Amino acid sequence: MKNIFVAFAFLMLWNYPSLAEQNLKEILSKTYKTNPKILSAIANLQANDERLKQVSSLWKPTLSSGASISKATTDSGFGFNQEGSTKTMKLDLLQPLYRGGRTGAAKEIAESDIVTAQINLLKIEQDVLLSAATSYMNITQNQELVKLQQSNRDILNKRLEEVKLRYDLGDVTKTDVAQARSRFLNAEADLIEAKGRLDVTKASFENITGLEPADNLDDKINLMLDIPKNLNDAVNIAMNNNPDILVISEQVNSAVSNVNLIKGERLPELNLQGNVTRSYTPTASPDDSTSITLSANMDLYTGGSVSSRIKQAKLRVNEQKINITDIKREVKEQAVTAWQNLKVSQSTIKARKEQVKSAELALKGVIIEEKNGVRTILDILDAEKEKLDAKTNLIIARHNEVLDKFKLLSKLGLLTSNNIGLEVK
């Protein structure tokens, strides 16, 4: 029984997402497969595929059948009635020959809707992956900050004990003890706040990904984040790949097809109809009849409604073309901003590293100078605070650099499962 329980527990641990090996690539892959927004967008794309099939069927013939039975009673006038029944079966065939180009236009609109749905899926995919990556990196950042605050509290606790011992020896004053105690208590509060922020980011992570985060997430970026070599390349990529531009461009195509669809209402509609009928009566042999009809219909006057709708549709085309210019400007600004933010983050990391080195060197110097009577306990506490701030800023800078890479790829339309090497099949 014990072995069965152990095996069951192992199976649960193996399949439970929070306890499996968690790295950024693994989390993004699982999020892609299970995120409701992505699944909804996929369903919408499939629905548009069905719409295209429906429109394409307008080219094809329709075949219908029917049957009837009738019973009649005839008064013969000689005191008795004569009854008879007739049974009829028929087949009807309707083949559209020409609809004024409306079927072709409707098919173009349906195809455009599919392309739009595909682009929207990519946009949603990018938004979800960016949100998931952000929540993941927020956890790794706060994990590091908690460790840093824990280390700082331990250092200040040790410092407080040293100051108390020196006070007992008459080497320092009560003020020095109070200052050391104040810094220790502040470190305690900072640690509590850091742990609280970590819990909040874990809750956000679970909401976005649907997964429970492990206690220690891997902070390595095991993804292909290919960044353009220069700003011009980044802007050109954005102009060709950003989903907002692609969607509005496809909407122009759809609007043009809609103009042609409405124009088709002015043209004749031509249909070929075929009918085969067989009738059965009790007193006669089966009666067969066949007919073929070519029919044409055309509206001659609609009160100006069609003309107005054509004009309206053309104005919609012009509206969408104007929107393209506006969206391209916005996308260019977003791409430039994202590029510059990344460059700032990368430069900031270099400065923060030097800041940490300088703060560590300064702390060592202040400790030595305090022993020689040149500095005070407060100077040591201040130097330790500067070192803590420098390390905190370095953690934040590294976090920002990674997120800025994701944000830039998103603005360029490159933050997709294929481009960053996710396993989502």
Rounded CA separation 312/97 (Å): 28
At residue 280 the predicted structure's pLDDT band, cuts being 50, 70 and 90, is confident
- Report the pLDDT averaged over residues 354-380: 93
What's this model's pTM, rounded to 2 decimal places?
0.82
Tens digit of each residue's pLDDT (9 = 90 or more) over 75-90: 655 555 666 678 899 9
pLDDT (0 to 100) of residue 388? 96
CB distance 290 to 276 below 8 Å: yes
Instruction: Give domain status of residue 63, yes or no.
Output: yes
pLDDT (0 to 100) of residue 217? 81
Instruction: Give domain status of residue 161, yes or no.
Output: yes
pLDDT (0 to 100) of residue 244? 95
- Report the pLDDT averaged over residues 45-50: 94
Bigger pLDDT: 365 vs 84: 365
At residue 22 the predicted structure's pLDDT band, cuts being 50, 70 and 90, is confident
At residue 143 the predicted structure's pLDDT band, cuts being 50, 70 and 90, is very high
pLDDT (0 to 100) of residue 158? 94
At residue 21 the predicted structure's pLDDT band, cuts being 50, 70 and 90, is low
Instruction: Give domain status of residue 422, yes or no.
Output: no
At residue 288 the predicted structure's pLDDT band, cuts being 50, 70 and 90, is confident
pLDDT (0 to 100) of residue 381? 93
Q: Looking at the predicted structure, is the pLDDT value of residue 8 above 60?
A: no
The candidate with the shortest Cα–Cα distance to 179, out of 342, 51, 311, 370, is 370
Tens digit of each residue's pLDDT (9 = 90 or more) over 216-269: 888 788 888 899 999 999 999 999 999 999 999 999 999 999 999 999 989 999
- Report the pLDDT averaged over residues 322-346: 95
pLDDT (0 to 100) of residue 81? 60
Rounded CA separation 352/355 (Å): 5
Mean model confidence pLDDT for the chain: 89
Task: For Cα atoms 52, 57, 58, give the angle at the middle one, nearest 5 degrees.
Answer: 105
Rounded CA separation 271/276 (Å): 17
Specify the number of domains making up the chain: 1
Instruction: Give domain status of residue 13, yes or no.
Output: no
Instruction: Give domain status of residue 420, yes or no.
Output: no
Q: Looking at the predicted structure, is the pLDDT value of residue 108 above 50?
A: yes
Q: Looking at the predicted structure, is the pLDDT value of residue 19 above 50?
A: no
pLDDT (0 to 100) of residue 177? 94
- Report the pLDDT averaged over residues 185-201: 96
- Report the pLDDT averaged over residues 63-86: 73
The candidate with the shortest Cα–Cα distance to 217, out of 136, 145, 148, 149, is 136
Instruction: Give domain status of residue 2, yes or no.
Output: no
State which residues form the domain around 203: 21-70+83-412
Instruction: Give domain status of residue 418, yes or no.
Output: no
At residue 302 the predicted structure's pLDDT band, cuts being 50, 70 and 90, is confident
Instruction: Give domain status of residue 407, yes or no.
Output: yes
Bigger pLDDT: 296 vs 1: 296
At residue 12 the predicted structure's pLDDT band, cuts being 50, 70 and 90, is very low
pLDDT (0 to 100) of residue 415? 94
Q: CATH number for the domain including 161?
A: 1.20.1600.10
The candidate with the shortest Cα–Cα distance to 157, out of 182, 175, 176, 193, is 182
pLDDT (0 to 100) of residue 75? 61
